[in-house]
């Protein structure tokens, strides 16, 4: 069961008595809980029939007693248990979950953890309730997920702007959603998000960022690469070395994979790399003409070496910017 399916069912007045939301991805859990809190009941019903508990401050008998109450002036009531992973003896909810009240919609938010599937408690949840189990999204899925989210809001985004957005924010779905909503409001009548909107609304420079540094290295443009590193030196949050090194490693490891292919067909390469679009494939093909197979192997080793140095291994405290400049000169030369 997905978050979208649960919410779509609720919109059709299809309810189960118990919803158990667990796992690592808070975005989907929060989305379901927020809808349950603000949209299942209307304003007049909520005053009497919405009860919210927080795991750290609640005990299981109070939660069960609230769930066993009958609704007032409504056909149903909603009981929310937020941050349930902090609640002591949460398995004591089992008798209620096994025999829930049909007029109560009980929604449990159990973040960053999962109930042990071997226990009777877990089996009762699966049998009697609706289970939403979430996992952190893989980074290679983020661009497509973000693009679909943007399209669901009636907007479009340029490929470069999409990569800027994803690379800057990373695997934080809630923040991505919030930033897109902020951009949507500021766009006015416009419907397309460009690099300029990303720069103006999120604060990442469209000219000095990890993506542009990667492109400069891939094009063997040493002067531009050094200028970008110097910008990072004056603006540490714009390009921390902990973000730069994984990004470069991802690019050159994909380049390494392409060398093993017997084709330069853009669609085949995009499919092999798990890319939803061929827009950036030409950048990889161009880099193939500038770097030999042994050079890419050397670059991957350099990235590993400088990653160790950045955390203090075999290094006496060299500044991050100096490490980057030194590494980039070796990569390009």
pTM: 0.77
Q: What is the pLDDT of residue 282?
A: 85
Residue 48, both tokens: 């009497």
Q: Which of 124-133, 258-267, 309-318 has the lowest mean pLDDT?
A: 258-267
**Model confidence band, residue 274 (pLDDT cutoffs 50, 70, 90):** confident
Mean pLDDT, the chain, whole residue set: 92
What would the mean pLDDT of 122-140 be, rounded to a whole number? 91
For 69-80, the DSSP string reads SPPSSSS-EEEE
Does the pLDDT at position 204 exceed 80?
Answer: yes
* 228-256 core/surface letters (b: 16 or more CB in 10 A; e: else): bbebbbeeeebbebebbbebbeebbebbe
Contact criterion met (CB below 8 Å) for 228 and 212: yes
Q: What is the pLDDT of residue 280?
A: 82
**Model confidence band, residue 304 (pLDDT cutoffs 50, 70, 90):** very high
For 239-290, the DSSP string reads S-HHHHHHHHHHHHHHHHHHHT-S---HHHHHHHHT-S-STTHHHHHHHHTT
What would the mean pLDDT of 196-224 be, rounded to a whole number? 91
For residue 157, the tally of other CB atoms under 10 A from its CB is 25
Q: What is the pLDDT of residue 263?
A: 83
| CA-wise closest residue to 115 among 139, 151, 91 | 91
Rounded to an integer, what distance in angstroms lies between the CA atom of residue 269 and that of residue 258?
7
Contact criterion met (CB below 8 Å) for 121 and 115: yes
Q: Which CATH number fits domain 139-202: 3.40.1710.10, 1.10.8.60, 3.40.309.10, 1.10.10.10?
A: 1.10.8.60
**Model confidence band, residue 138 (pLDDT cutoffs 50, 70, 90):** confident
Q: What is the pLDDT of residue 268?
A: 87
Q: What is the pLDDT of residue 133?
A: 94
CATH of span 210-332: 1.20.272.10
Q: What is the pLDDT of residue 226?
A: 95
For 13-39, the DSSP string reads T---SEEEEEES-HHHHHHHHHHHHHT
Q: What are phi and psi of 327, to 5 degrees?
A: -65, -45
**Model confidence band, residue 116 (pLDDT cutoffs 50, 70, 90):** confident
Q: Which of 64-68, 101-105, 171-175, 267-271 has the lowest mean pLDDT?
A: 267-271
- C-alpha distance across the termini of the chain, in Å: 52
Rounded to an integer, what distance in angstroms lies between the CA atom of residue 271 and that of residue 261?
12
Report the sign of the C-alpha dihedral through residues 163, 169, 174, 176, in that order: negative
| CA-wise closest residue to 161 among 202, 110, 222, 102 | 202
Q: What is the pLDDT of residue 272?
A: 84
Does the pLDDT at position 98 exceed 90?
Answer: yes
What would the mean pLDDT of 193-218 be, rounded to a whole number? 90
Residue 90's H or E segment, with its range, is none
Q: How many residues are recorded in the chain?
A: 333
Rounded to an integer, what distance in angstroms lies between the CA atom of residue 248 and that of residue 174?
25
For 188-221, the DSSP string reads TT--EE-HHHHHHHH---SSSSHHHHHHHHHTT-
Rounded to an integer, what distance in angstroms lies between the CA atom of residue 291 and that of residue 311?
28
Domain boundaries, given as residue ranges, for the chain:
3-134, 139-202, 210-332
**Model confidence band, residue 318 (pLDDT cutoffs 50, 70, 90):** very high
Does the pLDDT at position 1 exceed 80?
Answer: no
Tens digits of residue pLDDT in 168-188: 888 899 999 999 999 999 998
Q: What is the pLDDT of residue 283?
A: 87
Q: Which CATH number fits domain 3-134: 1.10.760.10, 3.30.70.2080, 3.40.50.300, 3.30.70.270?
A: 3.40.50.300
Tens digits of residue pLDDT in 41-88: 999 999 999 999 999 999 999 999 999 999 999 999 999 999 999 999
Q: What is the pLDDT of residue 9?
A: 96
């Amino acid at each position: 069961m997905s978050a979208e399916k649960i919410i779509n069912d609720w919109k059709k007045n299809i309810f189960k008595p118990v919803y158990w939301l667990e796992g690592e991805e808070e975005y989907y859990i929060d989305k379901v809980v927020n809808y349950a809190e603000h949209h299942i009941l209307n304003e007049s019903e909520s005053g009497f029939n919405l009860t919210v508990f927080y795991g750290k401050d609640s005990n299981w008998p109070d939660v069960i007693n609230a769930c066993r109450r009958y609704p007032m002036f409504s056909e149903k009531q909603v009981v929310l248990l937020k941050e349930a992973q902090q609640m002591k003896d949460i398995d004591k909810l089992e008798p209620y979950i096994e025999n829930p009240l049909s007029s109560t919609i009980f929604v449990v938010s159990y973040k960053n953890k999962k109930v042990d599937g071997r226990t009777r408690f877990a089996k009762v949840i699966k049998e009697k309730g609706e289970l939403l189990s979430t996992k952190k999204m893989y980074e290679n899925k983020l661009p497509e997920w973000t693009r679909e989210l943007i399209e669901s809001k009636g907007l479009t985004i340029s490929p470069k702007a999409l990569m800027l957005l994803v690379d800057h924010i990373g695997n934080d779905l809630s923040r991505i959603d919030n930033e897109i909503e902020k951009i949507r409001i500021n766009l006015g009548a416009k419907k397309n998000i460009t690099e300029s909107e990303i720069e103006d609304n999120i604060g990442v420079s469209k000219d000095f960022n990890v993506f542009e540094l990667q492109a400069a290295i891939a094009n063997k443009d040493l002067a531009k690469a050094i200028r970008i590193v110097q910008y990072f030196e004056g603006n540490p949050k714009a390009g921390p070395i902990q973000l730069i090194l994984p990004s470069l490693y991802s690019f050159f490891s994909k380049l390494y994979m392409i060398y093993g292919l017997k084709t330069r067909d853009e669609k085949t390469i995009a499919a092999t790399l798990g890319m939803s679009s061929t827009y950036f494939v030409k950048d990889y093909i161009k880099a193939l003409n500038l770097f030999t197979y042994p050079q890419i192997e050397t670059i991957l080793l350099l990235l590993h070496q400088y990653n160790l140095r950045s955390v203090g291994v075999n290094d006496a405290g060299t500044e991050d910017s100096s490490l980057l400049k030194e590494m980039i000169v070796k990569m390009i030369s």
